[in-house]
């Protein structure tokens, strides 16, 4: 786990809140979603990553019953996705907020609360939660993009749904608003709610998500915890002469765990073994100029997976 600790619901973590099997959506000749097997576990924040047009929103729409799957199955909270009993327990903000422009933010939420058969007292709490109380009586059409987005999130939170699906929730928010939104998402998960977050902001996903699914060209390339996706950190050694540095590294790290990156030697070695490596290098007569740990960011991994025709892409596809 990278960004946060999950509180309260670890015992339920293995229960799948969302499960799809070979979920496919075809629009004529275009395959928008291609045999996606997605799993979201109870209590986690799941990041759904992908470039524009990768199939993220179409997948989310199928999970909410807005769009029919061409083939495959999707279950949400143990029932067929989109059935009324399910959507009542799901809060969603899909591809931008859709509200009545002539109504105030508060009245828009009152309308949605009536559809959900919730007491209207929930409306004030939801507005408070997204920091819109003071502008709740203004008309929706007068809101900034960020305020509209926050109202969309407030609507998704009505009735404390078990699963909250947020499609690019930080769109249009200023930096402070984005930070607030991240805190809110983390707080939701701490309160036991499951969050399925679609985003193209990699640092955001890296910071708050427990697991990540990467989708590209309609195919789910990989689904794994953030840490697993990034892989272990590596040691990067800059020493001379290079051939002796390489030989020592291979002796300690094994042939498979060592690679050359320019004039640097990179090797998979746990932290505890770093002093032994330095001693061995010095004993072998190597002038050690630098030894440091390098970590791949989620961004590195993302681009490796989604860049078309790259070797890393093919490799990850094969292993997923």
Partner 1 sequence: MSTLIACTRAELLRLRRWPAVWVTVGAWLALSLMFGYLFNLLAYTSGDTSFANEGSTRTALLAEMMPANVPHVFVQGMPMFGGALLMVLGAIVAGNGYGWGTWKTIYTQGPSRTAVTGGSITALTMFVVGILVVSFAFDLACALAIAAAESQPLVWPSLSAVLEAFGAGFLVLEMWTLAGYLLGTLARGPALSVGLGLVWALVVENLLRGVGTLLGPVEAATAVLPGTAAGSLIGALVGVDQGGDSTPGVLDAISGTQAGWTVLAYVVVLPALALWLVRRRDVA
Residues that bind partner 1 (CB under 8 A): 61, 64-68, 84, 87-92, 94, 96-103, 107, 110-112, 114-117, 155
Which of residues 218 and 253 has its CB atom nearest to partner 1 in the complex? Answer: 218
For the CB of residue 226, give the shortest distance to partner 1 in the complex, in Å.
27
Report the residue number, 4 or 110, with the smaller CB distance to partner 1: 110
Q: Which is nearer to partner 1, 45 or 163 (CB)?
A: 163
Token code pair at residue 30:
């275009």
Least Å from the CB of residue 222 to partner 1:
28
Instruction: Compute the distance between CA of residue 94 and CA of residue 97 in angstroms, rounded to an integer.
Output: 7
Give min distance, CB of 120 to partner 1, in A. 10
Maximum alpha-carbon separation in the chain:
77
Contact yes or no for 279/254 (Cβ under 8 A): no
Least Å distance between CB 47 and partner 1? 20
Q: Which is nearer to partner 1, 118 or 265 (CB)?
A: 118
Q: How far is the CB of 87 from partner 1 (least distance, A)?
A: 5
Nearer to partner 1, 94 or 258 (CB): 94
Q: How far is CA 190 from the centre of its chain?
A: 16
Measuring CA to CA, how many Å separate 245 from each of 89, 207, 209, 237, 292? 59, 36, 38, 8, 14
Cβ neighbours for 252, distance < 8 A, ≥ 6 positions apart? 267, 269, 273, 276, 277, 280
């Amino acid at each position: 786990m990278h960004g946060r600790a999950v509180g309260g619901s670890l015992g339920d973590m293995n229960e799948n809140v969302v499960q799809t099997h070979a979920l496919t959506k075809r629009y004529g000749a275009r395959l928008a979603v291609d045999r996606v097997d997605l799993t979201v576990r109870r209590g986690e924040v799941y990041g759904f990553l992908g470039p524009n047009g990768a199939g993220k929103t179409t997948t989310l729409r199928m999970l909410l019953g807005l769009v029919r799957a061409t083939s495959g199955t999707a279950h949400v909270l143990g029932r067929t996705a989109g059935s009324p009993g399910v959507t009542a327990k799901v809060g969603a903000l899909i591809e931008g907020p859709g509200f009545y422009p002539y109504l105030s933010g508060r009245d828009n939420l009152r309308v949605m609360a009536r559809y959900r058969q919730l007491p209207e007292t929930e409306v004030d709490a939801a507005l408070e939660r997204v920091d819109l109380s003071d502008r709740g009586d203004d008309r929706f059409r007068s809101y900034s993009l960020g305020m509209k987005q926050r109202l969309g999130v407030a609507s998704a939170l009505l009735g404390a749904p078990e699963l909250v699906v947020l499609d690019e929730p930080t769109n249009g928010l200023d930096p402070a608003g984005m930070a607030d939104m991240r805190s809110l998402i983390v707080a939701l998960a701490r309160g036991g709610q499951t969050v399925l977050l679609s985003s193209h902001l990699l640092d955001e996903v890296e910071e708050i998500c427990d697991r990540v699914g990467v989708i590209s060209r309609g195919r789910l390339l990989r689904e794994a915890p953030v840490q697993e996706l990034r892989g272990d950190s590596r040691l990067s050694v800059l020493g001379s002469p290079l051939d002796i540095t390489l030989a020592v590294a291979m002796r300690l790290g094994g042939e498979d765990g060592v690679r050359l990156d320019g004039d640097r030697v990179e090797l998979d070695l746990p932290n505890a073994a770093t002093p032994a490596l330095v001693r061995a290098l010095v004993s072998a007569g190597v002038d050690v100029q630098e030894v440091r740990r390098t970590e791949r960011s989620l961004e590195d991994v993302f681009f490796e997976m989604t860049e078309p025709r790259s070797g890393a892409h093919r490799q990850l596809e094969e292993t997923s």
